[in-house]
Amino acid sequence: MTHLASPAIVLRRRDYGDFDLILTVLTQEHGICSLIAKAAKKSTRRFPGILEPFATLHIVYRQSRGRGMQVLEEATLEAAFTHARADVLKMAYASYWCELVVLWLEEGLARPDVYELLAYALNALNRDLASGKLLSLLFQMRFVGQEGLRPVLERCSCCQIEIEKLAQHQFCIDLRQGGIVCHQCPAPGAGQLRLSKGTVKQLLWMAQGDLAMAQRVRFSPSALAEATQFLEAFVPYHIGRAPKSLVFLHQIRGQTEQ
């Protein structure tokens, strides 16, 4: 019987029968895994209140015999996400990021880059290093970049002319083309998204280099709003799924921003 050990972030948990929990975790070493935590609901002795969403743990688990689910054997807490847990908007952002990871990543495939990004974003959110909205821009830009889905922002996604050579200051977005379009190219339908040139440059800056530096990009309220609207349309479109947690995030943000 093979035992595996790894740092892991709890992406979600659900009840399984009267006694057990099923956890979906992102491990640093082996990617996404589904694990059963036997008797975790009945007894808190083995896992004393630590198997919570967005917590970072160090886990030991094993393959069960046959093709059954992997079994969680031990877990120790590394980061609890306690501060952010009391804030429903922070929980909504964390849920959205974790759902993107669950929807897109293939189970069992090692992705230390995604692990590092998610751990960074959750820690920064928990420690109030930046607003949830800003961290969400950072997370989404880096995530789609890592997955080869980065938006085309350096040039018109239609005619390929670089934005530096274009006199205009605002761009339409064509989700199907995967980025901005210039005024000379056919515009997408009505009600479309727009980005100003300044916001485009800030998003590009955010997409590369050191995470802690990128997190310090200053957005005006209007730039933050248009960048948020853009990425929360672009990312679900290109991963081909509609995250349920994004609906929740929109509701909560709508209430808190009123």
Residues near Zn ion (CB under 5 A): 156, 158-159, 182, 185
Half-sphere exposure of 136 (CA within 13 A, CB side): 29
Residues 41 and 110: their CA atoms lie apart, in Å, by 29
Q: 40 or 181, CB closer to Zn ion?
A: 181
In whole angstroms, the minimum distance from the beta carbon of 162 to Zn ion comes to: 10
Closest distance between Zn ion and the C-beta of residue 149, in Å? Answer: 21
Exposure class string for 140-167: b at 16+ Cβ within 10 A, else e: bbbbbbebebbbbbbbbbbeeeebeebe
Instruction: Check if the beta carbon of residue 85 is closer than 8 Å to that of residue 44.
Output: no
Identity of the residue, 185 or 239, whose beta carbon is nearer to Zn ion in the bound complex: 185
DSSP lists the bridge partners of residue 58 as 7, 76
Let me know: does 61 contact 73? Beta carbons within 8 Å: yes
- The single-letter DSSP state of residue 63 is P
CB 159 → Zn ion: shortest distance, Å? 3
For the bound state, the minimum distance from the C-beta of residue 186 to Zn ion, rounded and expressed in Å, comes to 9
- Residue 132 or 151: the one with the smaller Cβ distance to Zn ion is 151
Question: How does 172-186 read in b/e, with b if 16+ C-beta sit within 10 Å?
Answer: bbbbebbbbbbeebe
Q: How far is the CB of 105 from Zn ion (least distance, A)?
A: 33
